[in-house]
Each structure stands twice: as C-alpha cells, then as structure tokens.
Amino acid sequence: MGALKYGLWALCLCVCSVVSSQEEEVILWNADRKLQWSDFKGSYFKTEWAAATTASGISYSFTSFKKEGQLYLDFVVQSEFYPNKSWYRPELCNSVILSHEQLHFDISELYARKMRERLAKAQFTMNAKAEVRAIYKTVLKELSDFQNKYDRETNFSRDLHKQLLWNKQIEAALKEEKPSQD
C-alpha cells in the first residue's frame, strides 16, 4: 500500500506541475505570504487516505530573440500553488499539518530557484524550446523525488521531530538560495 500512496502522490504532483492555464486560480510563492486553510478549495474523495493535499509546482515561460547571430532568452520561472486542486479534511487537520503543507509549497519554490539557476548557466542552441523543456522535466523529476522523500521521512507530518528538522532545513535553504528572476 505504501508504494501506491507514493505513486499516487507523484502522479498528483506531475499533473499539478504542468504549466497552468490563465484561467486557473494560482497563488504565487511569496516569503511573506503563508498558506491558510482557506486557500485549500478543492474537494477530496471519501476514499482518500490523506488529511490534506497541496497541489503546487513550477511553471515557466520564455521569450527568445536573435541579435547579431546570437540567441538570447528571457525566462520567467514561478512556484505556484493551485487552490482548486488542493484540499484538506478539517476534522483531521491542525497547525502542524498546515505547516507540513506549506513546506511542500516552499520545496516547490526551492526547485523553481534551481531551475532558474540551471537556465541561467545553460548554453542554448536554435533548439532552445526542447532544451528548456528537458531542463524543466529534469527539475520536475528531482522535485517529485524530494517531495516524496519529505513525506516519507516525516511520515506525512506524523513524526513531529522529523517535521521540525525539515522545517529548519527548508527555511535555511530558502534563505541561502537567491529568489530573484534572472
């Protein structure tokens, strides 16, 4: 059953990580704005085993232009929370679970920063669209693996000691990494 849980979570992350349409409600990651239960607007299936689910991911867009034979790219990479795909069960949730869900969103931001860094360092050819997409897919895979590790090590927030260690680790990583758009 454990493998099934992780597989379902990974599938949910991948589905939610695709570039969202303009009509979908999105909350962009911001260090000064923490998630609240009122942000979780989706509904869960009665057979759902979890207390809450955070649907978050990374989106990107870029423009390109050629000048004097040189290709230039301008990127926007964002960490997004999808309220209508995120849900919680009020009878099971508390502030510890909310902080666990916030950390999923924070982890998405860390990987958005990793993607920005990789894009800034990459040398692109005239096949830039495919090259950017390859970087995106690699970062999404790493993000999914890291999110699964987080849930596994904290036992989905049930191991309070591990949860507090992860909170400190991610907080420190967010302070270390530069949030700017290049």
- Listed by start position, the domains of the chain span 2-176
Q: Which amino acid is at 138?
A: T
Predicted confidence at residue 180, as pLDDT, reads 55
Predicted confidence at residue 65, as pLDDT, reads 86
Predicted confidence at residue 90, as pLDDT, reads 94
Predicted confidence at residue 27, as pLDDT, reads 98
**Which ranges of the chain have pLDDT less than 70?**
1-22, 47, 177-182
The backbone torsions φ and ψ at residue 30, rounded to the nearest 5 degrees and listed phi first, read -150, 130
Global pTM reads: 0.84
Locate 71 and state its tokens. 């290709």
Predicted confidence at residue 16, as pLDDT, reads 43
Locate 162 and state its tokens. 């591990």
